[in-house]
Amino acid sequence: MTLYMPLFRSCFTSRSLTQLHAHLVVTGLHTDPLASTKLLESYAQMGSLPSSRLVFETHPSPDSFMFGVLIKCYLWHQLFHQVVSLYHHHIQKGSHLTQNCTFLFPSVLKAISGVGDLFMGRKVHGRIVRSGFGTDHVIGTSLFNMYGELSCLNDARKVFDEMHVRDLVSWSSVIACYVENGRPQEGLEMLHGMVSEGIELDSVTMLSVAEACGKVGCLKLAKSVHGYGIRKEMVGDASLRNSLMVMYSQCSYLCGAKGVFEGVGDRSTSCWTSMISSCNQNGCFEEAIDAFRKMQESGVEVNEVTMISVLSCCARLGWLKEGMSVHSFILRREMNGADLDIGPALMDFYAAFWKISSCEKLLHLIGNSSLISWNTLISIYAQEGLNKEAMVLFARMIEKGLMPDPFSLASSTSASADAGSILFGQQIHGHVMKRGFRDEFVQNSLMDMYSKCGFVDFAYAIFDKIREKNIVTWNCMISGFSQNGISVEALKLFDEMYFNCIDINEVTFLSAIQACSNSGYLEKGKWIHHKLIVSGMQRDLYIDTALVDMYAKSGDLLTAKGVFDNMAEKSVVSWSTMISAYGIHGQLTSATTLFTKMVDSHIKPNEITFLNILSACRHAGSVEEGKFYLKLMKDYGIVPNAEHFASIVDLLSRSGDINGAYEIIKSTCVPVDASIWGALLNGCRIHGRMDLINNIQKELREIRTDDTGHYTLLSNIYAEGGNWYESRKVRSRMEGLGLKKVPGFSSIEIDKKIYRFGAGDTSSEWQMKEIYMFLENFQSLAQEQGCDVECHGTMFGTSGFFEDYRPRNLQRETRKFHFEQINPILE
C-alpha cells in the first residue's frame, strides 16, 4: 500500500483522485484502512466532504483512526456542528470507534468550543475522566482550551491545576487563555509561575506575554519583555516583532513601536501594517496615511488588514472623498471583503458619515458569508438609535441560517432594551439559554435589557446565577437597581463590593451616588463621597456632576455649591444641574444669576438647561421670568418641546392665569400630551375653573397615557364638582387600561437611616407616634421663631402630598425631616 502514497500526493484534481479511487476498488485495496483513510483525507482537502463521508460509511470495518481523521476533516472546514453531531451519533450507537481513542477527543473538544455548547463540553469531559484519559496532558491542554474559549476560566484553571505533566505547550496555552478572556493580569501571574518552575519561554509564549503587557498598559513591564526577547535572540521572529509594535502602541508609547519598526531591514506586509495600525490607535492618523503611502512606494503589497486601518484613519479625519478613493482601490485590487473583515470596516467608514444606505448595500453585496458584516450593521443600527431596524436585521440573520455569536446577541439585546421591547429581549434570552451561552458580555447585556424594561427581578436572577462576577457585572446590576428607583438594593450591592474588597471603579461610585440622589440618603452619600476621596481615584466630570445633584436633592445646597465651584471642568450638564439645584430650593435669583454666568462662560444652554430654569420659575411662581426664558429659547435655536410647555402652562395655571395657559396650548405646534393638559387641569382645580374643564372635555377624552396621576387628578376634579358619573367613568377607563395608582409615600432620614411611609401606612406605629408628637409641638416651635402657623396631623394621610416638591432638610437634634411645605415658614 505504501507504493500508492506518492500517487495520492500527485492527485491535484478531483478527476485524478476519482481515477485512483476507482483503481483501488478494482484491485480490492480500498478495503485497506490505510488506503481508505488517505482517500477520505484527500477528498476533504479538495473540498468534497460528502465523498469523504461516503468512503468512511462504505468501508466494511472502519477503525478508530479512520474515524478520527474524518472528524478532523470536518474540523478543518470549521463544520463544528457536524463534528459534534457525528461524535454524538456514534456515542449513542455505542460504537467501538469512540472508545480508547485519545487523538479523537482534542478534535471534538475544539468543535465544541466552536459551537459554544458548554453542556456538551462537560459531558465529554466526564467521558474523558471515565475512560481514564484525565491524566493525558494533550487532552488536558485541549480541555482547558475549550473551557477558556467558553469563558469558564475557573473550570479551565481547575483542569490545569490537576494536570500531572505541565509542559511548555500547557503553560503557553493557559497564559493565552487568560489573555484572550480579558484577564491579562492573571495571565502574567501564570507567567511568573511558569518561570518559577524553570520552563523557558519560546517565541509563541512571548506572543501572548506581549499581548498581555499591551492590555495591561504597563510600559515598564513592556520594556522588560522586549529586553528579554533581545537577550534570548527572539526578536528576529517576524510575528514577535509585530506583536512588540502593537504592545508599545497599546501602552501609548508610539516611539517604542517606531523603534522596533525602524530596526527591521526587510519590512514585510505585516510589519508595515502593524506600524500603520499603531499610528491609528494612538491618534496619529495623518502619520498612518503617510506610512501607507511609503508602503506603496516601497513596492510592498498591501492586504485587507492594512486597508482596515487606512479606512479607520479616513473616518477619524473626516475624509469622505479620500475614503471613497480607498474603497475604489480595494475594488481594483479585488480584495475579498467577505473573508477578512473589509466589509465591516467599509460599513463603519460610511456609518461615520451617516451613509446608512451604503452600509445596507454593502451587506447585500457581501451576502450571507460574513457573520461579522451582519454584526457590524446590527451594531451601527443600535448605536444610531435605529433599534427596530437592528431587531429586524437580527431576525433576518437567523432566517438566513447564520448562528449569532456573543457580539450579535449583545448588540440585539441592547437594541431591544433601548426600544423597550421586552418580548424580543426574552426571545434572545431563550436562545442564549438553549445554546448554553455563558459569555459575560451577553449576560451583562441581558441584565441591562431587563433593567431598562423595568423587570429588575429578572435582571437580578441572571446576576445571582453568574459565578464569576466581574466589575462590569456588578456595575450593571447596581445601575439597574438605581435606574428603577430601588436605591436600597443598589446601595446594599455597593456595600457588598466595598466590604468584600471587590474592585470598584468610577462607574461603581457614579451608580452609588445616583442611588443616594434618588433616595435622598444624605449621610450615605457623604460616606461614599469620603470613600471616593480616600481611594485616590481621579474624579471626573460625571462623578462631580452626580455629587452636585445628590447633595442638592438631599437638601445640602451649600455642599452642592462647594462641589460645583471646585470642579476643574464644567459641561453644560454640570451647569444645568446646579441651576436645577437652586430651582428646587426656591432660589430663583441664584438660578438666573448662574444662567447668566454660564452664558458669559461661552457655554451654550440646551433643552435641559431651559427646562431647569423654567422649573425654577415655576417653583418661585415668577410668571414674567418664565415667559422671558421661554422666548429666550428661540435666540439659541432651541424649539420648546412638550416638557417646556407643560412647565410654563403649570406656572401660569398656578398663578391664576388659566386663560393665558389655555391660549398657549391652543397656539403651540407641539402635540399636546397628558403632561400639558394635566398642568392646566391642576390650575383649574386650584382656581375652581370647572367651566374651562367642561369646554375641553373632548380633548381630555382623546388623551392616551399610562400616567395614573393624570386619570386620578381628572377623576378627583369631577368628584369635587359633583359629577360622579364622569368621575367613575375616568376610574373605569384607567382600570380598563390595566393601570393602578401607585400610592404616594414620603421618606425620613433618622440616625443615618432612611424610613419610608405612605398613605394609611401603619406598619411602623412607633415611628408615626414620634412624627405626630413632633407635629403637635411644631406650632409652638414656629411661634418661637416669630411665625403664625397652624399644623394639621392629617397632612401625613394625604396620598401624593409631597409629589410636586423636592425634599429639603429641617434639622432638630439628630433627625432630618424632608418637608418642602415646612421650610418656607422657617425662612
pLDDT tens-digit readout, 41-66: 887 778 788 888 888 878 877 777 77
Residue 349 sits in a domain whose CATH number is: 1.25.40
Average pLDDT over residues 773-794: 58
Confidence of residue 31 (pLDDT cuts 50, 70, 90): confident
**Does residue 765 surpass a pLDDT of 70?**
no
**Does residue 477 surpass a pLDDT of 90?**
yes
**450 CB contacts (<8 Å, ≥6 apart)?**
422, 425, 456, 458, 459, 462, 480
The answer as to whether 489 is a domain residue is: no
Q: Cα Rg for the chain, rounded, in angstroms?
A: 35
The answer as to whether 111 is a domain residue is: no
**Chain centre distance of CA 481:** 16
Average pLDDT over residues 754-760: 65
**pLDDT digits 0-9 by tens, 161-219:** 888 888 888 888 889 888 888 888 888 888 888 888 888 888 888 999 998 999 888 88
Average pLDDT score over the chain: 82
Q: What is the pLDDT of residue 825?
A: 29
**pLDDT digits 0-9 by tens, 436-457:** 777 788 899 999 999 988 899 9
**Does residue 250 surpass a pLDDT of 70?**
yes
Average pLDDT over residues 738-758: 65
Q: What is the pLDDT of residue 822?
A: 31
What is the model's pTM? Answer: 0.64
Confidence of residue 795 (pLDDT cuts 50, 70, 90): very low
582 grid coordinates: 437652586
**Does residue 816 surpass a pLDDT of 50?**
no
The answer as to whether 52 is a domain residue is: no
Q: What is the pLDDT of residue 474?
A: 94
Nearest-angstrom CA–CA distance, 497 and 88: 43
Are 676 and 646 in contact by the 8 Å Cβ rule? The answer is yes
Check residue 586 and report its DSSP letter. T
More confident residue, 98 or 796: 98
**pLDDT digits 0-9 by tens, 483-492:** 888 888 999 9
Q: What is the pLDDT of residue 512?
A: 94
The answer as to whether 28 is a domain residue is: yes
Full residue range of the structural domain in which residue 762 is found: 746-780
The answer as to whether 290 is a domain residue is: yes
Nearest-angstrom CA–CA distance, 112 and 85: 10
**Does residue 637 surpass a pLDDT of 80?**
yes
Nearest-angstrom CA–CA distance, 487 and 511: 10
673 grid coordinates: 400630551
The answer as to whether 20 is a domain residue is: yes
**Does residue 93 surpass a pLDDT of 70?**
no
More confident residue, 798 or 437: 437
**pLDDT digits 0-9 by tens, 97-139:** 555 566 788 888 888 888 888 888 888 888 888 877 877 878 8
Please tell me whether residue 745 adopts helix, strand or coil conformation: strand
Residues 88-92: contacts with CB under 8 Å, at least 24 apart: 88/120, 91/127
The answer as to whether 168 is a domain residue is: no
Per residue, the 3-state secondary structure of 323-372, as one string, reads: HHHHHHHHHHCCCCCCCCCHHHHHHHHHHHCCCHHHHHHHHHHHCCCCHH
The percent of residues in the chain predicted with pLDDT above 90, rounded, is 24
More confident residue, 573 or 407: 573
Average pLDDT over residues 15-40: 77
Average pLDDT over residues 748-769: 63
Are 723 and 691 in contact by the 8 Å Cβ rule? The answer is no
More confident residue, 292 or 434: 292
For residue 652, which of 680, 688, 672 has the smallest C-alpha distance? 680
**Lateral strand order in the sheet of 809-812:** 753-758, 745-750, 815-818, 809-812
Nearest-angstrom CA–CA distance, 740 and 737: 9
Torsion angle defined by CA atoms of residues 194, 196, 198 and 200, in that order, rounded to the nearest 10 degrees: 40
**Does residue 808 surpass a pLDDT of 90?**
no
Q: Where are the alpha helices (DSSP H) in 181-299?
A: 184-196, 203-216, 219-231, 238-250, 254-262, 269-281, 285-297
**Does residue 771 surpass a pLDDT of 70?**
no
Q: What is the pLDDT of residue 667?
A: 86
770 grid coordinates: 414620634
The percent of residues in the chain predicted with pLDDT above 70, rounded, is 85
**pLDDT digits 0-9 by tens, 264-311:** 878 888 899 999 999 998 989 999 999 999 998 888 888 888 998 999
**pLDDT digits 0-9 by tens, 691-707:** 887 777 777 777 777 77
More confident residue, 347 or 797: 347
**pLDDT digits 0-9 by tens, 645-693:** 999 999 999 898 989 988 988 888 888 888 888 888 888 888 888 888 7
Nearest-angstrom CA–CA distance, 406 and 696: 53
Nearest-angstrom CA–CA distance, 522 and 288: 51
Domain boundary among 317, 349, 369: 369
Are 415 and 449 in contact by the 8 Å Cβ rule? The answer is no
More confident residue, 826 or 650: 650
Nearest-angstrom CA–CA distance, 449 and 457: 12
Q: What is the pLDDT of residue 134?
A: 75
The answer as to whether 76 is a domain residue is: no
Amino acid identity at 250? Q
Domain boundary among 369, 387, 418: 369
Are 217 and 252 in contact by the 8 Å Cβ rule? The answer is yes
Domain count, the chain: 3
Sign of torsion over alpha carbons 404, 461, 504, 541? positive
**pLDDT digits 0-9 by tens, 215-238:** 888 888 889 889 888 888 887 778
More confident residue, 84 or 646: 646
Q: Measuring CA to CA, how many Å separate 4 from each of 28, 35, 296, 568? A: 13, 8, 47, 80
